[in-house]
C-alpha cells in the first residue's frame, strides 16, 4: 500500500467508521476476480460507503491524493470492467451497502433505487406493487442497479421495453471531483444542456460513480403465454417476428437457437426435454404478455397469430405451453445454454449486434465463413434475434488443448469475428460493454477521430484518471496518471 | 468580412459551386432573425452544403481558419439558438438543402432522414407507408429533423412516445474537427463506450452538426377519438390521467388549460366555440389512438373510461368529438392558444417542467405566488400536464407600456418563476433548450460543478469553439476564441 493509499484508508475509517474501509485480505479477495474467472487484479483496500455523501467524500479524498478507485456492484460483468488493475494501484469501491429502494410509486410508475440494490430485489418490489421492472438477465440475483446502469445492460426483455438506457429516468452520481450530480428528479422533459444522465449510462464507471437511479416501471403482467416454434432458418424466424409485431405489441421475448444448441442443452442439462416432437434446424422461444386483464389472452393471441405462419409454412411446427410449469420448462432450455456450452467444451464467445434486418444473413454467412476460415471449429449463434443481438460462439476443434487454443488461436478468431461484424455495420459489444476485455479491439476497429473524442471526454471529466482507470478507453500512457 | 472568412467562402465556392456559399445580403437576411423576432445577428455569408461530405469539408476548413459556424435548420427555435452572433464573426451554415429521406422501412419501422427534411414531410412519408412519426408541434411545416434532434424537441405527442431523444435510433454528424460521426446504423444494442449519439441529441449544434438521423416509426393510426373534459382543478386532471393510464396505453395527448385561456381563445380566434355547454374552471383535451384495427374503438374506450370519472365527480362534464371535424375543432382551440395569447397583450413565457406528480400543486401555488409578488400580473399555465411540462405565462398588468415592462420588470419576473421551478426540483427549459435566451439563467441556477462539466465537454470536443459559439454554455472569455 502506498502512503497515499494508507492515508486515504485511515481518513475514511476515522470519518465514517471502520467498516467503511477494510484492508483484510479475506474480505477483499472475493472481489479481485471477475465471476467468470478471466480477470484478476489486486487492491490493498475495499471501501464500502453507505451513502451518497460518503461516496462523494471518498472520491474527493481520492482525487486530492491521486488514488484511483474501481467501482464495483455485484461483480457480474462479462468484460472485466469491475476488476482492479494488477499492480494494486487502485482501491476497490463497493456500492453494495447502498441497497435501499428509496421510493417506488405505482402511480407515477417510477422507482428510485440505490446503486447496490440487487436486480431481483427491485423486480420483486415492483411486483408487490402490481408493476414490473422489465429488465431481466441471468445474473439477476447478484447484479446491482449501479452496474446495470453503468453498463447499459440488456437481457431477454429488451424487445418490448429497450435496454437499461430506456428504463432510466434519472441518475444520481458522484463525479470525479467529488461533486454530486443530482439527476434523479425524473423530469420527463429537461433540455438544460448536455445530458449528463445519458453520458453516465454505459460509461462503465469511468466518468462518475452511479449512486442511485430513477427507473421506469411498466404495468404488471395480467397473463403470459410462452410458445416454442420450430422453423427452417433465421430468415424465417425474422419474418415470423415481423408478422407477430404487425399484429400485436405484446411480444416481450423472441429468442432464437439452432438445433445443435438445443441438442447440447438436452445432452448436458438434466430434466430438459424437446418441446416439439418434430425435428427442425432452428427454434424460437416466444413470450407474449398481456398487461390489460380485458385484453385478448396471450395464449389465444399467439395461437391466432401463429396459425397463418404455420399455414404459410413460415413455421414448421409450434406449441404453446399448456401450463406455467411447461412455460418454465421452455425458458429453462434458454437459460441453460451457457451451462450446456461450458459442458460442451472450449469456445470463444462474442456479444455482437448488427442491424436487425441483416442478422439472419449474418448468422448463416458469418458462421459458415468462420468455420471455413478456422478448420475444425464450429460456429454457433443464438439469442435476441429481435434486438439484432446474438451470442456468436466459436467452439474449439475436437481434441485441442483448451489453454493452448485460447492463447494461440483465440485472438485471431475473435478478431475475424469482429471484422465481420464491423463490415456489417455492427457492434463488437452489443450489451456487455468494453471493460478491459475489448479495449484493444475497440481501439483497432474504431475511426481514430472517434477514439480521440472518447479520450477527450474522459480527460475532460476525469483529468486525473481517478475513476476506473484503464477501462473502456486507455489514455495515452503519459496522461494516465496525475 | 474578415480575410479568413473571405478565403473560406472562396474555397467553398471553388470546390462545391457558387450556390453552396453566398454573400448576397438579400439571401442571408431572412435567416439573421429568429422567427419570433427576439434575436437578431449578423453573418457575412450563408453556406448551404448539399451533402454530409460537403458539411465535413466546410467544418474542416472553418476549423483550420478559426471561423465559427452557426448551424441552422428551419429557424423555428424558441431561444435564439440558431441566430448568429451580432458581431458578424460567424458564418451561417444552413442544412436546408440536405432534405432527402434516405430510407423508410415499414418493416423495420425506421426512417433515415437528412437534417434538412421538414417534419411535416417526414410525417407524410411515414403515413404513406402506413406508419407514423409520432412527434408533432406547431412549427411542423418549417422545423427540420436536424434542429429537432439538436434541441431534443417535444410537442403534443410526448405522453405516449417520448421526446425526440426516444425517437432517435441513430445520428450522423460532423464533429468540430471535420470528421464524420457515423451513428445511423440503428443498432438496437450497442455498448461501445460513451454514447456520442446521446451526447449530440439536445447539444444545440455546439458539439457537432447533425447531418442525418435514423428515426423510429410507430404503427399507423387505425382510429382516433378526441375528448374534451371540464373539471375542477389540475389535481383532478392528473387523477383522471392516472385513471386513464391504468386502463389503456392508447392516450397520446392530454393537454390542460384553464378557463381564462379558453375564454381568451374564444374571444380572439374566429370560428372557435366552447366544447361543453357547462362552465368549468379547468379543461382537458384528450386524444386516444388505436393502432390495432381489432382493438376497442378509441371513442368507445374513452367513453368506458370516462364514465367512472364522471360518476366519481373527478370530471364535471365530458364530450367525445362526434366527427373528425369536431375533433379538429377541439384541437384548433389548443393550437390557437399562442395566437390568442399574443392578441391578449404582453406576456412573459416560460417553458418549464417539474416532476409530474407535483405539477398540479405548482400550477396553482406557483401562479398565485407570482401574481402576489408582482401585483397586477396574471399567471396562466397550460399545456402538457402528463409530461410535467407547462407553458407558464405571466401577463403584464393592464395599461403598462409593453417595452418598458419587458425591459424593467421582465427579467425579475422570469428569475422568480425560474427560482420557483428550481425549488420544485424542476427544469427551466423543458423542451425549448437554452440557446442564448437562457444561458445566463442556466449559469445562475446550476451547481458550479455542473457548469464546469458542461464547459469541459464543450472544450474537449470543440477546443477552438468553432460550432455555434456562445450558445448553451459560454466558455470563459479568454478561452472563447482560438
Establish if B131 touches chain A: CB-CB under 8 angstroms. Answer: no
Distance CA A212, CA A98 (A): 9
B116 pLDDT more than 60:
yes
Contacts with B166 (C-beta within 8 Å, 6 or more apart), sequence order: A166, B216
Q: What is the pLDDT of residues B388-398, one digit of tens each?
A: 999 999 999 99
pLDDT at B186: 84
Interface of B with A in 331-350 (CB under 8 A): none
Q: Give the integer Cα–Cα distance in Å for B330 and A343.
A: 65
Chain A nearest CA to B427, separation (Å): 6
Q: Are residues A43 and A70 in contact, defined by beta-carbon separation less than 8 angstroms?
A: yes
Q: Tell me the CA distances in angstroms from A348 to A394, A403, A426, one per residue in order.
A: 5, 12, 18
The answer to whether B194 contacts A181, with C-beta atoms less than 8 Å apart, is no
What does the alpha-carbon distance between residue A291 and residue A127 come to, in Å, rounded to a whole number? 13
> Residue A324's pLDDT is what?
95
CB distance from A354 to chain B under 8 Å?
yes
Cell output for B171: 445520428
Could you give the residue ranges of the DSSP H alpha helices within A17-138? 25-28, 52-65, 119-128
pLDDT averaged over every residue in chain B: 95
Judge: B433–A248 Cβ closer than 8 Å, yes or no. Answer: no
Q: What span, in angstroms and rounded, lies between the C-alpha atoms of A113 and A118?
A: 9
* Sign (positive or negative) of CA dihedral B163, B164, B170, B171: negative
DSSP alpha helices (H): ranges in B230-358?
234-247, 259-268, 298-311, 324-335, 337-343
pLDDT at position A482 over 80: no
Q: Do the chains contact at B461 and A453, CB–CB below 8 Å?
A: yes
Report pLDDT for B162: 94
Cell 474501509 belongs to A21
Q: What pLDDT score was predicted for residue B409?
A: 96
* Whether A130 contacts chain B with CB within 8 A: no
Count of CB atoms situated within 10 Å of the CB of B72: 26
The answer to whether the CB atoms of A292 and B247 lie below 8 A apart is yes
Phi, psi dihedral angles at B130 (to 5 degrees): 80, 20
- Report pLDDT for B359: 97
pLDDT of residue A186: 84
DSSP one-letter string for A229-292: EEES-HHHHHHHHHHHHHH-S-EEEEEEEEHHHHHHHHHHSTT---S-SS--SEEEEEEEEE-S
CA distance B403 to chain A (A): 28
Angle, vertex CA A353, rays to CA A349 and CA A359, nearest 5: 105
pLDDT by residue (tens digit) across A444-467? 999 999 999 999 999 999 999 999
Q: Nearest-CA neighbor of B391 among B137, B198, B170, B119? A: B137
Q: Do A353 and B201 touch (CB under 8 A)?
A: no
Query: Residue B385: pLDDT above 80?
Result: yes
Q: How far apart are CA A293 and CA A223, in angstroms?
A: 8
pLDDT in tens, B218-232: 999 999 999 999 999
Average pLDDT over residues A327-339: 93
- Contact list in B for residue A190 (CB cut-off 8 A) is 353, 427, 429-430
The verdict on A293 touching B (C-beta cutoff 8 Å) is no
User: How close B61 comes to chain A (CA, Å)?
Assistant: 16
* DSSP β-ladder status, B91-94 and B46-47: parallel
- pLDDT exceeds cutoff 60 at A355: yes
Between positions 104 and 123 of B, the ones with CB within 8 A of A are: 105, 107-108
Contact yes or no for B195 and A175 at CB 8 A: no
Given CB atoms, is B241 within the 8 Å cutoff of chain A? no
pLDDT value at residue A292: 81
Beta carbons of A199 and B202 less than 8 Å apart: no
Tell whether the torsion through CA atoms of B346, B351, B354 and B358 is positive or negative.
positive
Rounded to the nearest 10°, the torsion over CA B328, B332, B335, B336 is 170
Chain A segment 414-443 residues within 8 A of B by beta carbon are: 425-434, 442
Measured between alpha carbons, how far is A47 from B76 in angstroms, rounded to an integer? 51
In this prediction, residue B246 carries a pLDDT of 86
pLDDT category of residue A210 using cuts at 50, 70 and 90 = very high
Q: Which residue of B has its CA nearest to A295?
A: B295
Res A478 pLDDT > 60 = no
Q: Note the pLDDT tens digit of each residue in A407-423.
A: 999 999 999 999 999 99
Q: What was the pLDDT predicted at A481?
A: 36
* Model confidence at B332: pLDDT above 90: yes
Tell me if A427 and B199 make a contact (CB, 8 A cut-off): no
Report yes or no: B151 at the A interface, CB cutoff 8 Å.
yes
- Checking if the pLDDT of A142 tops 50, the result is yes
Least confident stretch, A459-468, B293-302, B385-394, B436-445: B293-302
Nearest CA in chain B to A149: B191
Residue B456 has its nearest CB partner, among A430, A446, A461, at A461
Q: Give the span between the Cα atoms of A243 and A182, in whole angstroms.
A: 43
Q: What is the pLDDT of residues B162-214, one digit of tens each?
A: 999 999 999 999 999 999 999 998 899 999 999 999 999 999 999 999 999 99
pLDDT of residue A281: 98
**Cα distances (angstroms) measured from residue A196 to each of A210, A212, B186, B202:** 11, 14, 22, 11
pLDDT at position B480, please?
A: 38
| Partner residue facing A453 (CB), from B185, B196, B384 | B196
CA–CA separation, B242 and B159 (whole Å) = 12
Nearest-by-Cβ selection for A353 from B190, B429, B446: B190
Residue A279 confidence class, pLDDT cut points 50, 70, 90: very high
Does A185 reach chain B within 8 Å, measured CB to CB? yes
Q: Which of A107, A129, A194 to mutate to test the interface with B (most CBs of B within 10 A)?
A: A194
Q: Which stretches of A365-410 are assigned E, i.e. beta strand? A: 378-384, 389-395
Nearest-CB residue to B108 (from A152, A194, A356) = A356
Task: Give contacts of B384 with chain A, Cβ < 8 Å.
Answer: 189
> Does the pLDDT value for residue A477 go beyond 60?
no
Pick the closest to residue A303 from A316, A318, A292, A293 (CA basis). Answer: A318
Q: Which ranges in B87-118 belong to alpha helices (H)?
A: none
| Nearest alpha carbon to residue A103 among A151, A155, A170, A160 | A170
Confidence at residue B247, expressed as pLDDT on a 0 to 100 scale: 86
Q: Where are the beta strands (DSSP E) in A62-179?
A: 69-72, 91-94, 101-105, 110-114, 131-132, 168-174
In this complex, the residue of B187, B353, B460 whose CB is nearest that of residue A355 is: B187
Q: Which of B124, B125, B126 is nearest to B217 (CA)?
A: B126
Query: Which residues does chain B have within 8 Å of residue A105's beta carbon, measured at their own beta carbons?
Result: 357
Residue pair A433/A77 in contact (Cβ under 8 Å)? The answer is yes
Give all domains of chain B, ordered by start, each with its CATH number.
Answer: 3-94 (3.30.43.10), 101-219 (3.30.465.10), 223-337 (3.30.70.2190), 345-423 (3.30.70.2740)
Contact call for A357 and B108, based on CB within 8 A:
yes
pLDDT in tens, A63-92: 999 999 999 999 999 999 999 999 999 999
pLDDT at A156: 86
A99 forms beta bridges with none
Q: Which residue of B has its CA nearest to A154?
A: B189
Q: What is the pLDDT of residue B476?
A: 63
Contact between chains at A192 and B428 (C-beta distance less than 8 A)? yes
**Residue to substitute from B106, B109, B151, B189, interface A, most A β-carbons within 10 A:** B189
A430 vs B191: CB contact, 8 Å cut-off?
A: yes
- Kindly report the backbone phi and psi dihedral angles of residue B175, in degrees, each rounded to the nearest multiple of 5, phi listed first: -85, 165
Residues in chain B within 8 Å Cβ distance of A199: 194-195, 198-199, 457
Pick from B108, B201, B434: which is nearest to A192 by CB?
B434
What are the angstrom distances between the C-alpha of A451 and each of A302, A426, A432, B188, B363? 46, 17, 19, 22, 46
Compute CA A16 distance to the chain's CA centroid, rounded to the nearest angstrom: 33
From the list B158, B199, B449, the residue facing A189 with the nearest CB is B158
**A118 Cβ partners below 8 Å, 6+ apart?**
A74, A99, A140, A141, A142, A143, A144
Please tell me the distance from the alpha carbon of residue A136 to that of residue A142, in angstroms, as a whole number: 12
- Comparing A318-322, B302-306, B335-339, the range with the smallest average pLDDT is B335-339
Between the CA of residue B157 and those of B153, B249, B385, what are the distances in Å?
11, 13, 12
pLDDT (0 to 100) of residue A74:
97
| Cβ A110 vs Cβ A214: under 8 Å | yes
- Polymer length of chain B: 482
Amino acid at each position: 500500500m502506498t502512503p497515499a493509499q494508507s492515508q486515504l484508508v485511515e481518513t475514511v475509517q476515522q470519518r465514517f467508521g471502520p467498516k467503511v474501509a477494510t484492508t483484510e485480505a479475506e474480505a477483499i479477495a472475493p472481489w479481485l476476480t471477475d465471476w467468470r474467472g478471466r480477470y484478476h487484479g489486486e487492491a490493498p483496500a475495499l471501501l464500502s460507503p453507505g451513502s451518497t455523501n460518503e461516496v462523494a467524500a471518498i472520491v474527493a479524498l481520492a482525487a486530492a491524493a491521486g488514488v484511483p478507485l474501481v467501482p464495483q456492484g455485484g461483480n457480474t460483468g462479462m468484460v472485466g470492467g469491475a476488476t482492479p488493475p494488477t499492480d494494486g494501484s487502485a482501491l476497490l469501491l463497493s456500492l453494495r451497502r447502498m441497497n435501499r429502494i428509496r421510493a417506488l410509486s405505482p402511480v407515477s410508475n417510477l422507482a428510485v433505487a440505490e446503486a447496490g440494490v440487487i436486480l431481483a430485489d427491485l423486480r420483486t418490489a415492483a411486483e408487490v406493487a402490481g408493476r414490473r421492472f422489465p429488465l431481466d438477465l441471468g445474473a439477476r440475483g447478484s447484479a446491482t442497479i449501479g452496474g446495470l446502469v453503468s453498463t447499459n445492460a440488456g437481457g431477454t426483455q429488451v424487445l418490448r421495453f429497450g435496454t437499461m438506457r430506456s428504463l432510466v429516468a434519472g441518475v444520481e452520481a458522484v463525479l470525479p471531483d467529488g461533486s454530486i450530480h443530482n439527476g434523479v428528479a425524473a423530469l420527463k422533459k429537461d433540455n438544460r444542456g448536455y445530458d449528463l444522465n445519458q453520458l453516465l449510462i454505459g460509461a462503465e464507471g469511468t466518468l462518475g460513480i452511479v449512486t442511485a437511479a430513477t427507473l421506469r416501471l411498466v404495468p404488471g403482467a395480467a397473463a403470459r403465454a410462452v410458445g416454442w416454434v420450430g422453423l427452417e432458418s433465421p430468415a424465417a424466424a425474422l419474418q415470423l417476428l415481423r408478422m407477430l409485431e404487425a399484429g400485436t405489441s405484446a411480444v416481450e421475448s423472441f429468442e432464437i437457437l439452432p438445433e445443435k444448441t438445443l441438442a447440447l442443452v438436452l445432452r448436458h442439462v438434466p430434466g430438459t426435454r424437446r418441446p416439439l416432437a418434430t425435428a427442425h434446424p432452428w427454434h424460437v422461444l416466444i413470450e407474449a404478455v398481456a398487461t390489460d386483464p380485458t385484453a385478448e389472452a396471450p395464449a389465444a393471441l399467439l395461437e391466432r397469430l401463429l396459425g397463418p405462419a404455420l399455414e404459410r409454412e413460415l413455421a414448421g411446427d409450434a406449441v404453446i405451453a399448456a401450463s406455467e410449469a411447461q412455460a418454465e420448462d421452455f425458458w429453462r432450455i434458454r437459460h441453460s445454454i451457457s451451462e450446456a456450452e461450458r459442458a460442451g467444451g472450449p469456445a470463444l464467445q462474442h456479444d455482437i449486434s448488427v442491424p436487425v434486418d441483416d442478422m439472419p444473413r449474418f448468422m448463416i454467412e458469418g458462421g459458415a465463413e468462420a468455420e471455413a476460415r478456422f478448420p475444425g471449429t464450429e460456429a454457433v449463434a443464438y439469442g435476441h434475434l429481435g434486438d439484432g443481438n446474438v451470442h456468436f460462439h466459436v467452439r474449439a476443434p475436437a481434441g485441442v488443448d483448451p489453454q493452448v487454443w485460447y492463447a494461440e488461436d483465440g485472438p485471431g478468431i475473435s478478431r475475424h469475428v469482429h471484422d465481420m461484424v464491423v463490415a456489417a455495420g455492427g457492434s463488437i459489444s452489443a450489451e456487455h460493454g468494453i471493460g478491459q476485455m475489448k479495449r484493444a479491439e475497440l481501439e483497432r476497429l474504431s475511426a481514430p477521430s472517434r477514439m480521440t473524442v472518447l479520450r477527450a471526454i474522459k480527460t475532460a471529466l476525469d483529468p486525473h484518471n481517478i475513476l476506473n482507470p484503464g477501462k473502456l478507453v486507455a489514455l495515452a500512457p503519459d496522461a494516465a496518471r496525475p
